[in-house]
Amino acid sequence: MRALARVYDKDERYVARLLPLAFLAPSIVEAMLAGRQPVDLTAQDLLTPQDLPAEWNAQAAILGFARQSVSPPR
């Protein structure tokens, strides 16, 4: 994290808050980019420290995408 922060001239805490977003399920990212996220999901929700699981369906449930199936790529 320190190296990333240095390269991008950012604070380490900022990098630490954003890094977990790199591991979101691709279908969650695609849904958000298309504007299909839950209406109560905010950017602050994504940046608030939480232990998001690595399992994509569990991420979907926690973030309010529970009705959508999140499948790994084949």
Q: Domain ranges in the chain? A: 23-74
Closest CA to 23 of 71, 59, 65, 48: 59
pTM, two decimal places: 0.73
What one-letter code names the amino acid at 64? G
CA atoms of 60 and 4, how far apart (whole Å): 27
Going residue by residue through the chain (74 aa), what tens digit of pLDDT does each one get? 999 999 999 999 999 888 889 999 999 999 999 999 999 998 888 887 678 888 999 999 989 997 655 555 55
Question: What pLDDT, on the 0 to 100 scale, is given for residue 49?
Answer: 65
Question: What pLDDT, on the 0 to 100 scale, is given for residue 43?
Answer: 87
Total residues belonging to the chain: 74
C-alpha dihedral sign at 56, 61, 63, 67: positive
